[in-house]
Chain A
Amino acid sequence: MERDFFKQYIQEHKDAFENEALPPNMLGNILGNLKARQQVQTQKKQKLIYTWLAVACSLFIVTGAYLFLSQEKSELTNTAPLLVSNKNESIEQPVISTVEVEPIKQKSTISKQRNFVAHHPKIEAYQEIYTGLSDSSSVAKRMDALIKARSLTTLNEKMKIELCRTFNEDGNDNVRLAALEVLSTFSNDKYIHEQLMVGLSKQKDPIVQLELVKIMGNSSSPQTTDKLIAMANNPFTVEAVKEQVYYALLTNNN
């Protein structure tokens, strides 16, 4: 390669070619531009940070909303089978039909009870009455036994004895009155009539006396009349009873 004298000359005198002064205030402009660019860069960085923060926040909100909604959905989906199951239960309401069946069962039981009552032997009914009447500790049981005895159409000897004993000897006025009511239907029976006559002198309760006088007033036997006269003359007899006795004596005389 040949020697380039021109280039060599330029390189040797390079400083002479660069003798012109620099434009004024270039450094100030450079530093000013540099600061401005740095500010812009910091602003860009801040904007970038804010942008990322905004993106992160929006992502967080979206994720949160999604999770919240998904939870709600899961709750709904969880409740849905329950509703379905409830519906199934409501559809399967043969429970109602069972309720409907129950009256049939009741009917059967009633019929059975009826059958039971119909086929009950009288002995058992008498035994219940005896047991009830002999229970001295409970007035209610004795009253219940007398109510049962009221339904009897016929009385055996033992029943007559028990009812008459209750009428003359029971300590409760209501029990004696109920026993009188039962015996009144069988007053034509000789034994019962005799026991009622005994009652005319034994019974001290005015209400029992009144009812007994009404029953025995129809009797025309002389023993009954004597008992009634004795009651009328008894100073402890209540006026109302006396009036009933007088009425009975007068009607008997007729």
Chain B
Amino acid sequence: MHLSISINEQELVKQCLAGEEKGYALLYNKYAKRIYHAVFRVMGNTAESEDIVQEAFCTAFEQLGKLKNQSNFEGWLKRIALNQAISALRKRKMVFTDESQLETVADEEIDISEEFLFQCQIEDIKKAIANLPDGYRTIVSLHLFEDIGQEEIGKMLGISHATVRSQYHRAKKKIFTALKDKAYYGT
């Protein structure tokens, strides 16, 4: 299955390189939703996310000839989109503060059980994540949804691994606090 997808992706990339509009449309339909949600989670803003996704696709299609591994178009496109999103956040004058010298929050301090998570609604978790500050939300989105390692996130944001780790745990704590409050008050 994975092999067939790779071949299809390569064929689509070849069609795009040949200038066929059909190739562009198929690649867009295949990856647009995932890329849009990844960007939206980082930005937390529909209009900006839309612009960034459009720009990311245009950049990817323009520089398709530079793509070495044609079977990894999605990863390449996602990385372009996320970099543009981070740049947009920086333009907002948002600073990813380096808190490596601060006391790190231990994982043990967060008491989250699997049972508790299964009791939560997806929409509640989404809201809790969306209400996070920009820096926390970015780290949580990149680590939880895009499965990017904390060290690599540190490189992407220009901060240390320790900072990413501490901010991630703080963000998680905020999310659980919000979810517990929701469960306590009930709806």
Enumerate chain A interface residues (CB-CB to B < 8 A).
2, 5-7, 9-11, 13-14, 16-18, 20, 22-23, 26-27, 29-31, 33-34, 37
Please measure, in the bound complex, the distance between the C-alpha atom of A251 and the C-alpha atom of B55, giving whole angstroms.
154
Please measure, in the bound complex, the distance between the C-alpha atom of A225 and the C-alpha atom of B145, giving whole angstroms.
176
In the complex, which residues 34-87 of chain B have their Cβ closer than 8 Å to any Cβ of chain A?
A: 34, 36-37, 40, 46, 50, 53-55, 57-58, 61-62
Task: Establish whether residues A5 and B114, one from each chain, have CB atoms under 8 Å apart when the complex forms.
Answer: yes
Q: Which residue of B29, B33, B61 contacts A34 across the interface (Cβ within 8 Å)? A: B61
CB of A165 to closest CB in B, whole Å: 131
Please measure, in the bound complex, the distance between the C-alpha atom of A17 and the C-alpha atom of B147, giving whole angstroms.
15
Q: Which 9 A-B pairs give the minimum distances between C-beta atoms?
A: A18-B37, A10-B144, A30-B57, A23-B50, A16-B122, A9-B117, A33-B58, A5-B114, A27-B28
User: A6 — which chain B residues lie within 8 A by C-beta?
Assistant: 112, 117, 144, 172, 175
Task: Establish whether residues B53 and A31, one from each chain, have CB atoms under 8 Å apart when the complex forms.
Answer: no
Please measure, in the bound complex, the distance between the C-alpha atom of A183 and the C-alpha atom of B58, giving whole angstroms.
138
User: A20 — which chain B residues lie within 8 A by C-beta?
Assistant: 37, 40
Q: Which residue of A18, A26, A34 contacts B62 across the interface (Cβ within 8 Å)? A: A34
User: A18 — which chain B residues lie within 8 A by C-beta?
Assistant: 33-34, 37
Q: Mark B115-151, 1 if CB is under 8 A from A, else 0.
A: 0011000100110000000000000000111010000
User: B50 — which chain A residues lie within 8 A by C-beta?
Assistant: 23, 26
CB of A32 to closest CB in B, whole Å: 10
Q: Which residue of A14, A26, A37 contacts B145 across the interface (Cβ within 8 Å)? A: A14
Task: Establish whether residues B33 and A7, one from each chain, have CB atoms under 8 Å apart when the complex forms.
Answer: no
- A2-B107, A31-B21, A34-B62 given; A22·B144 CB < 8 A: no
Q: Which residue of A is nearest B53, CB measured?
A: A26
- A17-B37, A18-B33, A27-B28 given; A11·B147 CB < 8 A: yes
- A10-B144, A30-B24, A30-B28 given; A17·B117 CB < 8 A: no
Task: Establish whether residues A22 and B33, one from each chain, have CB atoms under 8 Å apart when the complex forms.
Answer: yes
Task: Establish whether residues B46 and A37, one from each chain, have CB atoms under 8 Å apart when the complex forms.
Answer: no
Q: Which residue of A11, A13, A31 contacts B24 across the interface (Cβ within 8 Å)? A: A31
Enumerate chain B interface residues (CB-CB to A < 8 A).
21, 24-25, 28-29, 32-34, 36-37, 40, 46, 50, 53-55, 57-58, 61-62, 107, 112-114, 117-118, 122, 125-126, 143-145, 147, 172, 175
Q: Which residue of A14, A23, A31 contacts B46 across the interface (Cβ within 8 Å)? A: A23
CB of A18 to closest CB in B, whole Å: 4
Q: A6-B175, A22-B36, A33-B54 are in contact. List 12 more A-B contacts (CB 8 A).
A: A6-B112, A9-B118, A10-B144, A11-B144, A18-B34, A27-B29, A30-B24, A30-B28, A30-B54, A31-B25, A34-B62, A37-B58
User: B118 — which chain A residues lie within 8 A by C-beta?
Assistant: 9
CB of B65 to closest CB in A, whole Å: 13
Please measure, in the bound complex, the distance between the C-alpha atom of A33 and the C-alpha atom of B118, giving whole angstroms.
44
Please measure, in the bound complex, the distance between the C-alpha atom of A14 and the C-alpha atom of B55, giving whole angstroms.
24
Please measure, in the bound complex, the distance between the C-alpha atom of A141 and the C-alpha atom of B55, giving whole angstroms.
125
- A5-B112, A26-B32, A26-B54 given; A17·B24 CB < 8 A: no
- A2-B107, A5-B117 given; A17·B145 CB < 8 A: yes
Please measure, in the bound complex, the distance between the C-alpha atom of A13 and the C-alpha atom of B144, giving whole angstroms.
11
Please measure, in the bound complex, the distance between the C-alpha atom of A33 and the C-alpha atom of B61, giving whole angstroms.
11
Please measure, in the bound complex, the distance between the C-alpha atom of A2 and the C-alpha atom of B169, giving whole angstroms.
13
Task: Establish whether residues B145 and A10, one from each chain, have CB atoms under 8 Å apart when the complex forms.
Answer: yes
Please measure, in the bound complex, the distance between the C-alpha atom of A33 and the C-alpha atom of B21, giving whole angstroms.
13
User: B40 — which chain A residues lie within 8 A by C-beta?
Assistant: 20
